[in-house]
Amino acid sequence: MTPPEPPVGHRVALVHDWLTGMRGGEKVLETLAGLFPEAPIFTLFHFPGSVSRELESHPIHTSFLQRAPGIRRHYRRYLPFFPAAIEDLDLSGYDIVFSTSHCVAKGILPAPGSRHFCYCHTPMRYAWDQERAYFPRRRGLVARLRGLILTGLRTWDVVSSHRVDHFLANSNFVAERLRRYYGVSATVVPPPVDVEFFRPDTSGGPNATAEPIVDKGEHRGASGDDYLLMVSALAPYKRLDIAIQACEEGGYPLKIVGEGPEASRLEKLAGAGTQFLGRVGSEELRRLYRGARLLLQPGVEDFGITPVEALACGTPVVANGRGGVVDIVQDGVHGVLYSGADGIRGLLQAIDRALRIRFNILNLRAKAESFSTTSFVRRVEAILAKGS
């Protein structure tokens, strides 16, 4: 892929919230970094070795939080300092600023006369509509102080949104949230997914897909396993507890890929049929997608890269029918959507229904391919050409 040439005399800077691991947001940043190989990356803090070589090949500039005590283990506790830290980064001399933001990156202070494009994964979930999911305790001095901090953070969040010249949203769901909370419009540009890597098995092995119609009710993995799959950070809003309890009740073995602060609580909740795999490599992840009967997503996601990766591998999706997934999954064609208000019973009914459907793998692949990296790059280039 040939990087685009910025307009003559223009210098490009990339801004990201923090660099502590390779998740969906970092994969978007990696694609943008490939478009602008000379661009430095500005971020709150960076843990060397935690992100890809492609990202670490760029000059990385961090804020004063990089030297904060205990930042590696407890960076979430520094949330009240994030706005000041992002504003302290010096972007003078850059004509085009491209931020990727799920927290405070959009609040960077661009140089006068520069153009600021923001790819927004979501407005801060814990400051807006999911505050109670993250902070269920509502009484006591600590809760009161936290409430005051979040009130101030929401005010800053709205004010700083007007430092952006052009918002890009990863889904129609997020575009609506941007309109509701910031009063701004956004262009929907789905994130890039590596659909060339994530694809069905055509090796001829025991898990290979030879026919376009895949009956996941009869499907078995390459190792003889029979399981449903979740690929998710272990965070409260992901609602892994719903999936664990539904699978326990329905007798479906469940494999969970991911790490996060909810790990110990979820492990105590789970029975013998649930297996926690932690972080896995890309080859193993692809094998798990290919072998799963279904991918489950009981939480409301802003977009959801994992459903696209699952579809690309020929695995249907069962998801809560709100959020960005409605841009990905058509009910009965690529999987099953259900009402999250129905809880465990609704998820169980959706699983049972999905296992009775004979899905066409060509439909699953075609949908996944519409979210390719090439499609993402073309959309971004067109917006930059128009707006810079």
Query: CATH class for domain 12-192+372-387?
Result: alpha beta
Q: Residue 20, exposed/middle/buried by CB under 10 A (0-12, 13-18, 19+)? A: middle
Are the CB atoms for 24 and 191 separated by under 8 Å?
Answer: yes
Q: Residue 167, exposed/middle/buried by CB under 10 A (0-12, 13-18, 19+)? A: buried
Residue 129's SS3 state is coil
The band of 304, judged by pLDDT with boundaries at 50, 70 and 90, is confident
Spatial neighbors of 105 by CB under 8 A, at least 6 apart, are 15, 16, 17, 43, 86, 99, 118
Q: Read off the pLDDT of each residue in 240-265 and give the average, rounded to a whole number.
A: 94
Whether pLDDT at 130 is above 80: no
Q: Read off the pLDDT of each residue in 13-23 and give the average, rounded to a whole number.
A: 94
- Are β-strands 274-278 and 254-257 bridged in parallel, bridged antiparallel, or unpaired? parallel
DSSP 278: E
Q: Read off the pLDDT of each residue in 267-274 and give the average, rounded to a whole number.
A: 94
Best CATH choice for the domain 213-369 from the list 3.30.465.10, 3.40.50.9100, 2.60.40.10, 3.40.50.2000: 3.40.50.2000
- Are β-strands 115-120 and 96-101 bridged in parallel, bridged antiparallel, or unpaired? parallel
Q: What does the pLDDT read at residue 173?
A: 94
Are the CB atoms for 55 and 81 separated by under 8 Å?
Answer: no
Answer with the residue of higher pLDDT: 131 or 309.
309
**pLDDT, tens digit, for every residue of 331-367?**
999 999 999 999 999 999 999 999 999 999 999 999 9
Spatial neighbors of 148 by CB under 8 A, at least 6 apart, are none
Answer with the residue of higher pLDDT: 378 or 7.
378
Q: What does the pLDDT read at residue 211?
A: 58
Spatial neighbors of 176 by CB under 8 A, at least 6 apart, are none
The band of 220, judged by pLDDT with boundaries at 50, 70 and 90, is very low
Q: Within the chain, where are the H helices?
A: 24-35, 53-56, 71-74, 82-88, 131-134, 141-161, 172-182, 240-250, 263-269, 282-291, 305-312, 343-354, 361-369, 373-387
Whether pLDDT at 205 is above 50: no
Give the C-alpha separation, 388 to 386, whole Å.
6
The residues of the chain that CATH labels 3.40.50.2000 are 12-192+372-387, 213-369
**pLDDT, tens digit, for every residue of 312-335?**
999 999 999 999 999 999 999 999
Q: Read off the pLDDT of each residue in 71-89 and give the average, rounded to a whole number.
A: 93
Entry pTM: 0.82
Q: Read off the pLDDT of each residue in 200-212 and give the average, rounded to a whole number.
A: 60
Mean pLDDT of the chain: 89
**pLDDT, tens digit, for every residue of 135-184?**
666 677 877 787 788 888 999 999 999 999 999 999 999 999 999 999 99
Whether pLDDT at 43 is above 50: yes
Q: What does the pLDDT read at residue 221?
A: 37
- Are β-strands 317-320 and 335-338 bridged in parallel, bridged antiparallel, or unpaired? parallel
Residue 227's SS3 state is coil
Between 141-161 and 172-182, two packed helices, what is the crossing angle to 10 degrees? Answer: 100
Q: What does the pLDDT read at residue 185?
A: 96
Q: Residue 93, exposed/middle/buried by CB under 10 A (0-12, 13-18, 19+)? A: exposed
Give the C-alpha separation, 282 to 289, whole Å.
11
Q: What does the pLDDT read at residue 212?
A: 64
Give the other-Cβ count within 10 Å of 186's Cβ. Answer: 23
Q: How many residues does the chain have?
A: 388
